[in-house]
Structure 1
């Protein structure tokens, strides 16, 4: 028998015995287990749980590996079954830990020793490296299993709070739970590539043999997209600000555990303000599960977390090195350790409304289970820095105060923002978490949740954010967003008929409108500016194309788009009374839209050259108020 086969035999013995009293010491098995590798142990544990007899034979002979569960609860439960000892999600541990437990740390694992009813009990978070020796010990001394309970890392953090962060190493494998066909790891499929080549060939042929028809077709296509995109701004203007759904007030005892994930990378500057905002959250501290997710080689941020979080009951989860190095990859590491019934994400520069978690918990409690995600409104709080931050603030006000509430009020597909999203944890795990290869993981996740039958809604709560203060920083961020839009559109259009069947025709149109429409509108504005330049140089026929009726349609699209955008921007400024911006600031929109066109071109370049590269935005450089001013939130 090989050590790997011994791991399978050990698990089978524990599964058949059922009770520890029925097991006998086995020195030969113990010696084989001691020589096994951690992967041998893990493959045996999860093949026993998920595989049939055929899979067990394949694993025992080393012909295949068993997939690891995404959730840490399932992962450690599988290890406990294999070891033949108890498993506790954390509920029992929290009640019985006592006042003076002993915590031992070694090699990424944790042992908590406590006396329960006069008996020593050991709660263990075993690292994979422990498993061969631990299994060998239990093969020699099966009676010890009665004193041993395997727990996930989050259970230990809840049972034994510390005055500052508890440090634990995150688990990378698997990177995600997203089906392979729904990943952005592959930019385009062969079918999409073939269709794209055929389309390019058709356009080139038309341009060579019938240039007037080709030009008219291009102008009509761009004009149609622009008209549709402009109509969303017009509809947002016409929409009324409806009050939020009635929700019951929940007292502190009725509130569930809430996990807060904070992904950080080179974020030592503004971390103190975020920690202050987390301290101000109006939520029972014992029910908060705050995780700072920090890359293994980012010692600067690790030291900043240790320095700033003194007195805050939280965890710092170290994200092991690997590729791709993206925010959604870190979020998946945190999600599998989240203990809360609900989970939210805050970025380093965020300053959330202190009532936000309560509001989200109350909305979830009053809603059916298919409402699985909520989006808070994002606001820029340093509009006086320069014209760029003012444009960004107006853009956010238009989007989060008018466009997104309008879409949500009609029950349509709502694309999430990258922060202040709130989820039902079980639904988020069910859809596979975040795609680590997608650089706008929020939009992709919103569509995938819709495909699984879940809904998303807005909540009447704000989070103050930091806008880029330089054009270089703005282009980095916006080109990443646009590249993510392209990734997301390509991923969800690999099987267009399946998409329509799963989300419905109306939501499929919304998807195309908000992903392609944003890109097309930016390029259309640049094309219009180019046409104006041609007009100024005497090439008047190129301004509206060779056909008068096409020119008239293009004029209508441009007029409607500009008028709706200017009007929505001015109204948004008035709606957000706290931002000191003149309504005339919207006249800068044409310059701002030229930057968007440049960002689209950079995104196209990056999609081809570095599709999974995350263009990092530096935070903590803006002149922000010391403490944000939150208005009163309407309650039921």
Structure 2
């Protein structure tokens, strides 16, 4: 079976992060597959050392001299690049993704046994909980994992997972969408497909500053507002589990401050799991986190209403932890 692994690399990603990405991919269990690994690199200068490194690492490199469509554009160009190879499945990772060794095999097995699934992925975890902002996102991911198991609208950030190549090749990513992953997920669900949560783990970096979290969530919130264009298509599915989950994700997350009174209820659980000292820090972090998210939500709504897009801004990386 042919599979392709695609990793978009923005101009802002440091060489150290790219190097660790290659290192991690080499650990994957890919026995039984014919594999092509492609890094789509948006060049940061004419002598981009990341391109030279990747070529020496023995992977395919698609170099883009512009960042048209940003991440969505890079993935679409990668899909075009892979047409001759014609894989059955496309594995999409971010450059900071650290998947468990069985990630690909588990996802492929799940898709082979469910013809109505367009994507399979696993729970997400943070591998750099080194300060209060990143530790708070670490706590948030535990909630997200809890909800992923129960929601009928499974939206895996970045489409990180294994996707049917024929579907993503046909429908492509919307390069005008700020949240191209949620846009594609919505369109696939409207067509009657679903996403699968399978066994395995995927670790990724959390933003390490409140500023980076604010900028990241502004983009997510703005992208969510753009999804309302599909409201009629969502209703036409008559899949009320999906409809309810979709609407909830595009409403409740925008009024996150309403859940502030519930935070103390989670304190005993956090104390039980991580101890009183860390739980106390986590509780303070969650209070700040909710404030940051609510501010980002309001900011994005205002930007959307006045017709101005939010700016994409790079997130600081931390590479000491493997």
> Same-fold call, TM > 0.5?
yes
Give how far 1:581 is off. 8.4
Give how far 1:363 is off. 1.5
Q: Given the superposition, is the C-alpha separation of residues 307 and 278 from structure 1 closer, same or farther in structure 2, using an over 3 Å criterion? A: same
1:288 is paired with a residue whose SS is strand
* Of 389, 413, 420, the match for 2:134: 389
Distance 1:617 1:486 in 2: 21
Residues 349 and 619, structure 1, Cα contact 8 Å, conserved in 2: no
Residues 256 and 293, structure 2, Cα contact 8 Å, conserved in 1: no
Distance 1:584 1:261 in 2: 40
Residues 293 and 331, structure 1, Cα contact 8 Å, conserved in 2: yes
2:154 is paired with a residue whose SS is coil
The answer to whether the aligner puts 1:492 opposite 2:230 as a matched pair is yes
Question: Which segment is superposed worse, 499-508 or 441-450?
Answer: 499-508
Provide the TM-score with structure 1 as the length reference: 0.46
Distance 1:436 1:423 in 2: 18
Q: Given the superposition, is the C-alpha separation of residues 461 and 300 from structure 1 closer, same or farther in structure 2, using an over 3 Å criterion? A: farther
The answer to whether the aligner puts 1:352 opposite 2:122 as a matched pair is no
Distance 1:480 1:300 in 2: 29
* Runs of 4+ deviating beyond 4 Å: 563-567
Distance 2:47 2:250 in 1: 34
Residues 117 and 195, structure 2, Cα contact 8 Å, conserved in 1: yes
The answer to whether the aligner puts 1:342 opposite 2:86 as a matched pair is no
1:259 is paired with a residue whose SS is strand
Q: Given the superposition, is the C-alpha separation of residues 444 and 272 from structure 1 closer, same or farther in structure 2, using an over 3 Å criterion? A: same
* Of 233, 241, 245, the match for 1:510: 245
Counterpart of 1:283 in structure 2 is 30
Q: Which has the higher contact order (CA 8 A, sep 6+)?
A: 2
Residues 347 and 419, structure 1, Cα contact 8 Å, conserved in 2: no
Counterpart of 1:592 in structure 2 is 289
The answer to whether the aligner puts 1:363 opposite 2:110 as a matched pair is yes
Counterpart of 1:562 in structure 2 is 263
2:87 is paired with a residue whose SS is coil
* Of 14, 20, 23, the match for 1:268: 14
* Of 199, 205, 215, the match for 1:466: 205
2:203 is paired with a residue whose SS is strand
Distance 1:301 1:420 in 2: 29
Distance 2:47 2:300 in 1: 28
Counterpart of 2:39 in structure 1 is 292
**What number of residue pairs does the alignment pair up?**
315
Counterpart of 1:237 in structure 2 is none
5+ residue gaps in structure 2? none
The answer to whether the aligner puts 1:426 opposite 2:166 as a matched pair is yes
| Superposition pairs of residues 140-151 of structure 1, within 5 angstroms | none
2:56 is paired with a residue whose SS is coil
Give how far 1:445 is off. 1.3
Q: Given the superposition, is the C-alpha separation of residues 623 and 275 from structure 1 closer, same or farther in structure 2, using an over 3 Å criterion? A: closer
Q: Given the superposition, is the C-alpha separation of residues 508 and 448 from structure 1 closer, same or farther in structure 2, using an over 3 Å criterion? A: same
Give how far 1:429 is off. 2.7
Q: Give CA-to-partner distance per residue, 1:419-465, whole Å, 9 cap, x none.
A: 522111112234x1211111211112111111111111111111211
> Looking at CA atoms only, which structure, 1 or 2, has the larger radius of gyration?
1
Counterpart of 1:258 in structure 2 is 3
Residues 54 and 61, structure 2, Cα contact 8 Å, conserved in 1: no
Distance 2:247 2:33 in 1: 43
Distance 1:301 1:474 in 2: 31
Counterpart of 2:222 in structure 1 is 483
Q: RMSD across aligned C-alpha pairs, in angstroms?
A: 2.7
Give how far 1:580 is off. 12
Residues 326 and 437, structure 1, Cα contact 8 Å, conserved in 2: no
Counterpart of 1:617 in structure 2 is 314
Residues 345 and 420, structure 1, Cα contact 8 Å, conserved in 2: yes
Distance 1:581 1:306 in 2: 46
* Of 410, 417, 425, the match for 2:157: 417
Counterpart of 1:243 in structure 2 is none
Q: Given the superposition, is the C-alpha separation of residues 619 and 282 from structure 1 closer, same or farther in structure 2, using an over 3 Å criterion? A: farther
Counterpart of 2:301 in structure 1 is 604
Give how far 1:337 is off. 2.7
Residues 4 and 90, structure 2, Cα contact 8 Å, conserved in 1: yes
Distance 1:381 1:580 in 2: 22
1:418 is paired with a residue whose SS is helix
Counterpart of 2:71 in structure 1 is 327
Q: Give CA-to-partner distance per residue, 1:268-308, whole Å, 9 cap, x none.
A: 2411111101111111497111111122x523794213214
2:111 is paired with a residue whose SS is helix
Q: Give CA-to-partner distance per residue, 1:213-247, whole Å, 9 cap, x none.
A: xxxxxxxxxxxxxxxxxxxxxxxxxxxxxxxxxxx
5+ residue gaps in structure 1? 1-255, 526-557, 627-636
Counterpart of 1:305 in structure 2 is 51
Q: Give CA-to-partner distance per residue, 1:503-555, whole Å, 9 cap, x none.
A: 52331121110121101224x46xxxxxxxxxxxxxxxxxxxxxxxxxxxxxx
